[in-house]
Amino acid sequence: MFFVDVILPIPLNQTFTYAINKDEAAFLKPGMRVAVPFGKTKIYTAIVYQVHDQAPSGYETKSIDHILDRVPIITNVQLKHWKWMASYYMCSVGEVVRAALPSAFLLESETIVKLVANKTIDQETLTDDEFLVYEALLQQSSIHINGIRSILDRKNVVSVIQKMIDKEIVEIEETIYEKYTPKLKRYIKLAPEHAAESELKALLESLSRAPKQREILMTYFTLKSQSPKPIEATELQKNSNASASVLKSLVDKGIFEEYFVQKDRVEYSGQSTQGIKTLNEGQEEAYKQIKTSFETQNVVLLHGVTSSGKTEIYAKLIEEAMASGKQVLYMLPEIALTTQLIARLQRYFGETVAVYHSKYSVNERVEVWKAVLDQRSKAQVIVGARSSLFLPFKNLGLVVVDEEHEPSFKQYDPAPRYNGRDSAIVLASLHQCKLIMGSATPSLESYHNAKTGKYGLVELKKRYGNVLMPAIELVDIREKSKKKLMTGHFSDRLLEEMREVLKEGQQVILFQNRRGYSPVVECTTCGVAPQCPNCDVSLTYHQYKNQLRCHYCGYHIAMMLNCMACGSQTLDTKGFGTEQIETELKELFPKNKIARMDQDTTKGKHAYLKLIDALENQEIDILVGTQMLAKGLDFRNIGLVGVMNADNLLHFPDFRAHERSFQLLQQVSGRAGRTEKRGKVLIQTFNPYHQILKQVSVNDYEEMSKEQLQERYQFKYPPFFRIIKIEFKDKNLTRVQNASFWFAKALQSKFGENILGPEQPSVGRVRNKFIFNIMMKVPPTQALEATKKYISNVERSFYTIKEFVSVRVNLDVDSY
């Protein structure tokens, strides 16, 4: 008798044992997938963990349904890494598996499949089973895998579906992921029958009576002679001053052909178009220090001011790793915001660069997965968000973690609640390769680790090309209000500088940390503010749609004229958001082009890219935005950055608020003046004497970190103490209260004052579920393993109590 232990993608922390025959036992390797029955009706795709001949005692094993892979699609290093993640972040390996694998690899009974749209299928090539599925899908458009079981009248259907997916006949329906469809650009080329040189003259002559068409044709040849690049329709029109209809008539005549290409695929031809840059003296020195540091350290922190040229140093390290045939992982906090960087890496490394992130379709992710697994050169460098560390690297030579301070490296929900940066360090050590992390404003955790010798530390204090750091000025808006020098939310200083910069043809970025028009609408008669019925927050006014919206659950209603509580017409708006700034700007600067970048204006698939393009092409004079603006963008022509109000950042109730404020303000400031002319930054605030603002204004990271680290030490916060957050959620307030108090008491009996709470967070109810949190501080001297075990035991007893069965408990290690 032989058995296989498998990992199921479910939140139970154990493997499951199934029976296999002798041949299967010889064939199966850890990391292959098998389809297995579970419970009465379920099918899961499971990962082989180990094969053995020890019959489990106490229950009868079921057999596996069938084997899905010929070779493992998951490596041993991955399994090790995922086990570490599960244990460190207190979840099941199955939950890690679910986060790690593209869902096309994890077919299960609930999976819904449908036909790939607009595809002609040669029915001759289908097997009988495939034909039955195909026929059924023609009629029903989508079917559960369980439904397919009854169509085929047998249990083992996963491999049939898997094959149909591989043949691109069916695909699985994606509900969670937004489908990524790159924008199509329209290009023009000469129809092949006219492409010969000799044709040209005849062609021009034939158009002698259509001068406008002739003009387009001439322009086409001029552009063609200047560069071999494909010619975009809009470019052609613009250069020949022609209308779309004239161009169309040439297409109709069959002289031109139009074709469409995905924007991000055409921008580089597949070849690297330039070598990496030669480092300047400072960069060269930093590079050497990194290399020296790597002799004794596995992790090095590169602390370089904004625009110091960190990326070029990474490029050099990447080039080196690639030269020895190794794979490289380049991790970024949010991939959507980094098209600029991807384009840059593609220029250097051509089609060896592959991008991986959750906005891509399942098919695209599967493609990258397989390319990495087979060590194909087209995926030698992976650029991705945190989930890219789940890829099946075989030969990893370097990991880069860019903008390492960004909180979005941490996953909140669902489990695994992992930190991408920290998990990457473990990944690198499993591959015995080096990791370089970089930031202009390192997280206090990383900086502390570097200062205490756990990581190497290399600093880069000058901007590339000796561009000066922007001059930062604090504007006291309390004072300005008193003196009546405010116009709306703009001080006279800010307006003055804006006018100056705009007059010189430079651009302005305005930063406001809130979207919407104004966060809260309040009745000045009775003081009532309209609340979300599902969450404990006030609704936010959005002027554009004249709506009140909840930023937590999306609830919205039309803005009312009368107060719902007292009926008076004295509703007033307090505070302000990006939309309101935009409205004020339109009155103050009627002649300038104004745009807004926040979650509301970047919802559309490529809205964000469009805004960046427009800013780069100087089609926008003033851009108002939220912290999206702070994410590593490199613009040439920003003369001024204005921060509308720094105070709401500083007063956020979180022990990281000061650190975060410093980082955000420095990063936003860093967008100013990246060329010869020194950029300016104006920060409006009610507290110009606040330590953090002073440190921002003189660029003093050193001082900031010293002070903040002292506070963290004193108040027992990271990086000195670890934090484990335990979150309780339930529909019933009393129940969740009782549950969290019970849990806290159980922990307090062991850990005493290091257990804080339970407390209701500032937003105490979301989507109709009440929330309570316990925060646990783990002293450096306290064994982490044992602590977690204790928590798990408490959790186990907790769930034996009937009243608490419905309560959700979420564990968040190193919570952010």
Can you say which residues are annotated as belonging to the binding site for Zn(2+)? 523, 526, 532, 535, 550, 553, 563, 566
Least CB distance to ligand ADP at residue 337 (A)? 14
Give CA–CA dist 702/751, Å, rounded. Answer: 34
Give CA–CA dist 662/643, Å, rounded. Answer: 13
Closest to ligand ADP by CB, 631 or 777: 631
306 binds ligand ADP (CB under 6 A): yes
20 binds Zn ion (CB under 5 A): no
Q: Which residues does 201 contact at the CB level (< 8 Å), separation at least 6?
A: none
| Tally of residues, the chain | 816
* Helices of type H across 227-360: 233-240, 244-252, 263-266, 281-296, 310-323, 339-349
CA dihedral (709, 666, 600, 330) positive or negative: negative
634 binds ligand ADP (CB under 6 A): yes
**Quick one: what does residue 566 bind among Zn ion, ligand ADP, none, with the CB cut-off 5 to 8 Å set by partner type?**
Zn ion
311 binds ligand ADP (CB under 6 A): yes
**Quick one: what does residue 280 bind among Zn ion, ligand ADP, none, with the CB cut-off 5 to 8 Å set by partner type?**
ligand ADP
Least CB distance to Zn ion at residue 816 (A)? 22
Out of 279, 342, 532, 629, the only residue in the binding site for ligand ADP (CB under 6 A) is 279
Give CA–CA dist 317/458, Å, rounded. Answer: 14
Least CB distance to ligand ADP at residue 662 (A)? 17
**Quick one: what does residue 487 bind among Zn ion, ligand ADP, none, with the CB cut-off 5 to 8 Å set by partner type?**
none
Nearest to 190 by CA among 231, 229, 225: 231
Stretch that binds ligand ADP, among 77-85, 176-184, 299-307, 727-735 (CB under 6 A): 299-307
Out of 280, 592, 637, 760, the only residue in the binding site for ligand ADP (CB under 6 A) is 280
Least CB distance to ligand ADP at residue 633 (A)? 10
- Say if CB 528 and CB 516 are below 8 A apart: no
Nearest to 33 by CA among 68, 64, 79, 3: 68
Least CB distance to ligand ADP at residue 389 (A)? 21
**DSSP category for residue 63:** B
Strand partners of residue 112: 144
Out of 309, 397, 516, 719, the only residue in the binding site for ligand ADP (CB under 6 A) is 309
637 binds ligand ADP (CB under 6 A): no
Specify the DSSP element, H or E, that contains 161. helix 158-166
Give CA–CA dist 700/702, Å, rounded. Answer: 5
Kindly determine how many residues on this chain lie close enough to bind ligand ADP according to the rule CB under 6 A: 15
Nearest to 400 by CA among 299, 309, 323, 322: 299
Out of 219, 283, 601, 666, the only residue in the binding site for ligand ADP (CB under 6 A) is 283
What character string, x for contact with Zn ion (CB under 5 A) and - otherwise, covers 498-537? -------------------------x-xx-----x-xx--
**Quick one: what does residue 277 bind among Zn ion, ligand ADP, none, with the CB cut-off 5 to 8 Å set by partner type?**
ligand ADP
Least CB distance to ligand ADP at residue 284 (A)? 9
Closest to ligand ADP by CB, 310 or 765: 310
The encoded tokens of residue 170 equal: 């069916």
Q: Are strands 769-778 and 112-115 parallel, antiparallel or unpaired?
A: unpaired
Q: Which residues does 189 contact at the CB level (< 8 Å), separation at least 6?
A: 230, 231, 256, 257, 259
303 binds ligand ADP (CB under 6 A): no
Give CA–CA dist 33/67, Å, rounded. Answer: 6
Stretch that binds ligand ADP, among 74-82, 273-281, 544-552, 658-666 (CB under 6 A): 273-281
CA dihedral (112, 116, 117, 123) positive or negative: negative
The encoded tokens of residue 307 equal: 């625009």
Nearest to 349 by CA among 311, 386, 318: 318
700 binds ligand ADP (CB under 6 A): no
Out of 81, 185, 310, 515, the only residue in the binding site for ligand ADP (CB under 6 A) is 310
Binding site for ligand ADP (CB under 6 A): 277-280, 283, 304, 306-312, 464, 634
Which residues make up the interface to Zn ion (CB under 5 A)?
523, 525-526, 532, 534-535, 550, 552-553, 555, 563, 565-566
